[in-house]
Structures are given as C-alpha cells and as structure tokens.
A and B are shown apart, each in its own frame.
Chain A
Amino acid sequence: MIAEFGHFTLILTLLVAGAQGALTLPGAANGNAAWIAFARPAARIQFALVSLAFLSLTWAFITKDFSVAYVAENSNSRLPLFYRIAAVWGGHEGSLLLWVLMQTGWACAVSMLSRQLPEPMVARVLGVLGLVNAGFLLFVLLTSNPFERLTPAPLEGLDLNPLLQDIGLIFHPPLLYMGYVGFSVVFAFAVAALLAGRLDAAWARWSRPWATAAWLFLTLGIAVGSWWAYYELGWGGWWFWDPVENSSFIPWLVGTALIHSLAVTEKRNSFKSWTVLLAISTFSLSLLGAFLVRSGVLTSVHAFATDPRRGVFLLLLFAVVVGASLLLYAVRAPKVGLGGRFDFISRESLLLVNNVLMAVAAGSVLLGTLYPLFIDALGLGKISVGPPYFNAIFVPLMVPALLLMAVGPIANWKSAKLPAMLKRLYIPAFLAVAFGIGVPLALGRWSLLVALGVSLATWIGVAVVIGIYERMKATRSGLFSQPLSWLGMHVAHLGIAVFVVGVTLVMGYETEEDVSMAPGQTVQVGGYDLKFIGVRKVPGPNYVADMGDFEMFRDGASMGLLHPEKRTYASSAMPMTEAAIDANGLRHVYVALGEPLGDGAWSVRVYYKPFVDWIWGGCLLMALGGLLAISDRRYRLKRKARDASVALKGATS
C-alpha cells in the first residue's frame, strides 16, 4: 500500500510540475498575475509530494518490505537499520528519487528565499525548474520506478552491495546530488534572464549565492567520495580519474569558473553572456554526468546497472534541456548587453583568463573521458585512457591558474597597475621559492614536482595571509568584521593551497610495503614498526570478519593497536577489505589485509601517507569559504536591499 502511495505521489508531482511549467512561463511573458502567482505554491507542493514519496520508499526499507523489487535488490533482513535507510539511494531507481527530492527541494528553497526578486522573474525561474523536474519525473516513472512490486515477494533480499555498506554511502550521494542539482537553480536563473531578454548586475547578485551554495556542496560531495574510496578500496588511492569521478569533476571545474564569472557580472556588470553560457554549461554537465554514469556508455567500477532504455531516455532529456537552452542563448544573448570596460591588465581580465583555464581543464578531462567512445564510434578500435594521461595534461593547466590565484585578489577592478601589484608579490614570491627548495630537502629527498607544488601552495597561502593582514590594518578592524564574502574568497583559496600541499607531499613521499607476514613478524614503513600479532574471526550483523591485530611502534614506544579486517558478507562471494588507519593530522599509517597464506600467515599491505588528510582538509576549507561567501550580509538584507538594488539597477543598466 505504501509503495503504491509513493508511486501515486510521484505521478501527482509530475502533473503539478507540468502545470507549473505550462502556466508560469507563458504567464510571465504575458504579465498574467494569477498564473505567475502559481509558481511559488507549486514548487512547495512538489517538494511536499516528493518528500512523501521518498518517505514511502524509506518506510519500505525500514520495514523490510521485500515485495518491492528495489528493496529486495538492495536490502536484506540482517542489514543494520542505518544502512537500510541509506540503501534507499544505493541503487539506480532510489538514487534518482533522491535526485528528484533535491530538485524539488532546491526549487522550494528558491520559492521561499526570493522575496526581493520581482515576481515574473521568480515565476520564470520556478517554471524552468518545474520543467526540468518534470523531465526527471517522467524518467523515473517510465523507466526507473522504485516502487515496482515483485510477485511473489521473496523471503529474503539480495542485500546492499557490501562496498556500499559504509558511512560514506550515507553522506557522499546526498552531498554530491545537492551539488549537481543545485546548479540547476543558477541554470534556471540564466534561462529566465534569457527568456526575459534582460540581464543585469542584479541578476548576478541574485544567482550568485545559489551558484556558490551548489558549488560548496559539490566540493564536499567529491571530497567525501575521494575519502571513502581511499579507505574502502584498500589500496590507498584517493583519485583514479575514473569516468564517474570525472563526471563530477567536470561540472566542478566549470562551476568554479561560473562563481568567479558571477563575481565580475555582479560587481562590474561585465561578462554577461559568458556568465550565462557558464551557468547553462554547468548544469548541462551535471546532466551529461548523469547520462554517462547510468547509460552503460562508459565502463566504470562505479557505474550503475545499465538498461539501454534508460540510456536513450537520459540522452533525450539531456538533448532537449541543453539543446533548448543553447538555442535560446544563441538567439537572446546578444540582447543582454556588454557592461563596463576594463583594461588589458585588470581583475576582470585576470578572471577571464581563469575562466579560460577552468574551461579548458574541464574540456580536456571531458576529452579524455569520452575519447575511447569517440574512437570506438568511428570504428577505429578500442583504446583506454587512464590516469597517466589525465595527470599529464591536468597539472600543466593548473599551474597558471594557481599562479593567478595570488595575483587576482590584489588586482584592481577595471584597471590594475602592474608595478604596484608586483611590489605586493615580492614576499609571497620569495617565500614560495624558499619553501619550495627547503621543504623537499627537509623531508629527506629532493624532487622537482614536490618543489613546484610546495612553491605554488606557499605562493597562494602567503598572499592570502598578507591580504587579510593588510586589510585588517587598513580598516582597523578585526578578522570577523571584514565582509564575509571577501573572507570566504581567501579561505577558499587557502583551501586550495592546503589541498596542493597534501597532494604534493603524499605523491612525493608516500611509501608502501607489500609483504607476507607470519604472526610475530614486524614490517617497517615511514619510520613506524608494525608488528603482526594475528588474525581472529569476528562475527558482524551480516558478515563474518577476519580481524587482524597489529601493534604500531615508533622508536620502540607502542602507539596502540590497529585492526584491519577482511569481511565476507553472506550475500556476496567477494571479500571486502576494511583498512585500519592511524591518523594524526600530519600522516596516515594505513594497514590492509591481503590474502591468507596458510599457517596463520597473511599477505599485508602497509602504507605511510604523509599529509594525506590535507587533501580533504583543503576541500573542507574550500567549502567553508563558500559557506562564508553565501552568509554575507548583503544577501540577508531584505527591504532595504530591495530598494537599493532597484536603484542600483537603474544606475548600472
């Protein structure tokens, strides 16, 4: 009954979404107040309905209702409760329902947090979001219904894929989808502006926090995914340039260009048509990512089970949404106007170069990801493009972007004086070279790549610190009385510097030992001794584990025990590795069990990973920067800002 109810609410939502799109867009064009007024309530109703559908599916999981096919495929009576709930989005159908929930959630948020926007604008934005939502609902209802019944109902479910029975599943997809779907808001803003034939600084001001919010969620989603893969897969990698990973990274790169471009459009009313194109592109790339991951077109360890019908539908959805927006762009963008002028060297031009670099990086990753498909489609054979390619092309593209990161914030808008900028860059440059040469030597082994990475990170970090210090001195006020969006920029840039340090030092100085150990033997890694005590059997709720006991020593002093596991789940033949990690912020000591070799001996992998936490720490800082930026006072001023923004609009358009 609950499942049928859930199914029914989805159908209702589709009807509401369709009505919303059909009424609000023409309504805004004709100035029909009644139709325009339908937008906000329609968005909230959709969210309420989809929430009910989502709760119905969750209920089916909680109550172990195996008569629902999706529950039977992804759950098991012995699966612990929190995994049963997370299993709602563990498979294709459920994760799509999560996507739709987020889609309606963001639209609902827009309907509630946009009092200062003119009604026709809000109507258009919500109308576009409604249409996108309708597209996904059709996809779910026609090809991926999570509420399909299984008759006769099996007594026991197949169980959630053991790889997914982990805390990572609880956070990664929701955060990631919040990002992917969040970009549909700024997409809708862009399309709405094109439909209205008008784009100005006020539009940028309204869309910017939505874009930044989506960006920060996507950053967190990717970071959690990377961290999860690191400890779950058991061999210490944190990024594999896998097609599914790339599908999330490409929108992130373009989204980064977008938030920078929006800054310019908001401040200087420039870059308008570029910003609109970026806004359309970011969500389009989210859609492309969804297609690539679920259609079977690319092989990946992450890919969902594929069905050609789904691939075709998703491609159609992608083609219609993106094609229509790009056509609209071609027709209407010339009308949006040019905005202020700026010099060859100015903050605007530097940000433009940044946009180009981010877009080229995104394009290159996309090229590498799709190249095997292109070659196969042209009948030229099968090739594979792996990490060696991506590492080779990505790093050189990022170096100029990282260099610019210290220069941009000190460049004046409209016209920047090169000598003045250079003067402010002497200290960062000097310290960058000093640390670049010094750090590798201090850590024991010179490496040009490490020197490069450390220099760039120091360059950025020092520039951030100096920038904050100088401003605090100039305004004679404390850290937190500075505008939050300005602070957010610096925190996010600092996050990138921290990230670069993490990546550089891990890749430069990590060590690994892959040995067979008998109980009592010790292996050395990174200055630590790991003594293998033994392996014992430990039962879990739905698995049996071989739990290893290792004691960690440093200079003879014991630092505690580590317990890596090898789990055999009742539902799957493949054993799962659960690594044991000792972390102290500056390094990881990572132990993973291999295979039993007989007589109590086991093959064991141990890793020493210096500064690896800085990779995800840097991402957290980036997200924090985004959070600070959207908390800026100017987005929270209501009545006052509305009058000011209206007046401002008059002055700058």
Chain B
Amino acid sequence: MKYWWFAILSLLIAMPASATTVDPEKRMFNIAQELRCLVCQNESIAASRAELAVDLRQQIRELIQAGRTDDEIRTYMVERYGDFVLYRPPMNATTVLLWFGPMLLFLLGLTILIMALRRRKARLVNTPLSAEDRKRAHALLAQTADSEKF
C-alpha cells in the first residue's frame, strides 16, 4: 500500500522532469546520487570529494557519452562493486522484507490496535456512580485547578 502510493507520487513528481531532455551532467548527478561512495562512510558518489568518487563520476560521464542507459550504468557499477554500491537497495528476494517491512509493520500495528481495543471493550463494564461517590466527585472537581481539566 505504501509503495504503491509512493509510486504514484513519484510519477507525478517525475512528470515535469521528463518533459525536457535531461542535461548529461544532471544525468550523471542523478545516477551518482544513487550510488554509495565506498571509501567514505555514508556519502553518495555525487556528494563525496574522495578521489575514488571523483574517478567514478568521470567514469559515469564517459559511459553516458558512450550512450549507455541509466540502468546499464548502474549494472556496470554493481558488476564491479557488488550490491553494496547501490545507495538505494535494489528490490529483490533479499530486500523484499526491507521494502515492504514498513507497510507490514503499519498493518501489524493497526491490527494489534484494533484487537486490543476490541478486547478492552469486552472487559470494561460501565457501572454508574453511587450517590455517595457522586457527591465525592463533585467535591473533588470543585477543588481541582483549571489546568487539571485539560
């Protein structure tokens, strides 16, 4: 559910962008943003100033000039550096639980919530106040300060 919603959102966002031809430098930047810099800790190849990142950005530029598609370039990197180089984890059998995890957690959370509420409703009994208790309640309410009512 979550992924589907996001997919539609992404399409809506992407639409204006695909209307114009994408500048090669921008393309390089977009691809590089989705690849991890392996000698840095938690930076993308686009953002990193490390030498390897500079080299790889240049390599991406050359591949773009050679006419490769975005997917081909990403595959090129994965062939050499493994899945680890993908900043955005791929969607495959190993990562299915990762991508659908949040949605599953959400459904689980809602289920637990509904079940717990049902169970609690069954166990709660609403007894009316006795006259004595009612008087006591009035007296206490008169005492307590305004802030307590909220």
A interface residues, Cβ below 8 angstroms from B: 235, 237, 240-243, 299-301, 303, 338, 341, 344, 349, 352-353, 356-357, 359-360, 363-364, 367-368, 371, 375, 380-389, 392-393, 396-397, 446-449, 483-486, 594, 632-634, 644, 647-648, 651
Contact = CB atoms under 8 A, between A and B. Distances in A.
B87 A387 contact: yes
Contact of B84 (A382, A397, A632): A382
Contacts of A397: 2, 102, 106
A338 B124 contact: yes
Given A338-B120, A341-B121, A341-B124, A381 B88 contact: no
Interface string B2-46: 100110010011001000000000000000011010001111100
Contact of B113 (A352, A447, A648): A352
A344 B118 CA distance: 10
Nearest to A301: B41
Contacts of A381: 82-83, 94
A594 B124 CA distance: 67
Given A388-B87, A393-B2, A242 B121 contact: no
Contacts of B121: 341
A109 B8 CA distance: 51
A405 to B, nearest CB: 17
B148 A634 contact: yes
B35 to A, nearest CB: 9
B42 A386 contact: yes
21 contacts: A235-B47, A235-B49, A301-B42, A356-B109, A357-B106, A360-B105, A360-B106, A368-B98, A371-B98, A381-B82, A381-B94, A386-B42, A386-B89, A387-B44, A448-B12, A448-B13, A486-B147, A634-B147, A644-B144, A647-B140, A647-B143
Nearest to B146: A483
Contacts of A393: 2, 102
A375 B89 CA distance: 12
B74 to A, nearest CB: 12
B150 A486 contact: yes
B123 interface: yes
A367 B102 CA distance: 8
Contact of B150 (A396, A483, A633, A647): A483
Top 4 closest A-B pairs, CB basis? Answer: A388-B88, A386-B87, A483-B147, A364-B102
A188 B16 CA distance: 54
B98 A389 contact: yes
Interface string B134-147: 00110010011111
B86 interface: yes
A633 B145 CA distance: 10
A449 B126 contact: no
Contacts of A360: 102, 105-106, 109
Contacts of B59: none
B49 A384 contact: no
B115 interface: no
Interface in B59-85: 82-85
Contacts, number: 138
B109 to A, nearest CB: 4
A181 to B, nearest CB: 26
Interface in B83-139: 83-90, 94-95, 97-99, 101-102, 105-106, 109-110, 113, 117, 120-121, 123-124, 126, 136-137
A300 B147 contact: no
B105 A364 contact: yes
B44 A386 contact: yes
A125 B82 CA distance: 50
Nearest to B108: A360
Interface of B: 2, 5-6, 9, 12-13, 16, 33-34, 36, 40-44, 47, 49, 82-90, 94-95, 97-99, 101-102, 105-106, 109-110, 113, 117, 120-121, 123-124, 126, 136-137, 140, 143-148, 150
A651 B12 contact: no
Given A237-B47, A383-B83, A383-B89, A651 B42 contact: no
Given A364-B101, A380-B94, A651 B136 contact: yes
Given A301-B41, A341-B121, A389 B2 contact: no
B134 to A, nearest CB: 11
Contacts of A447: 13
Contacts of A483: 146-147, 150
A397 to B, nearest CB: 7
A393 B101 CA distance: 9
Contacts of A387: 44, 87
Given A338-B124, A389-B89, A633-B147, A242 B13 contact: no
B105 A386 contact: no
Given A240-B42, A338-B124, A353 B113 contact: yes
B38 to A, nearest CB: 9
Listed residue (B6, B41, B117, B137) with the most chain A CB atoms within 10 angstroms of its CB: B41
A389 B88 contact: yes
Given A300-B42, A392-B6, A644-B143, A383 B94 contact: yes
Contacts of A371: 89, 95, 97-98
Nearest to B85: A384
A594 B48 CA distance: 12
A375 B102 CA distance: 17
A651 B84 contact: no
B148 A383 contact: no
Given A237-B47, A371-B98, 8 more contacts: A235-B49, A356-B109, A371-B89, A384-B84, A388-B88, A396-B2, A396-B5, A446-B16
A344 B113 CA distance: 11
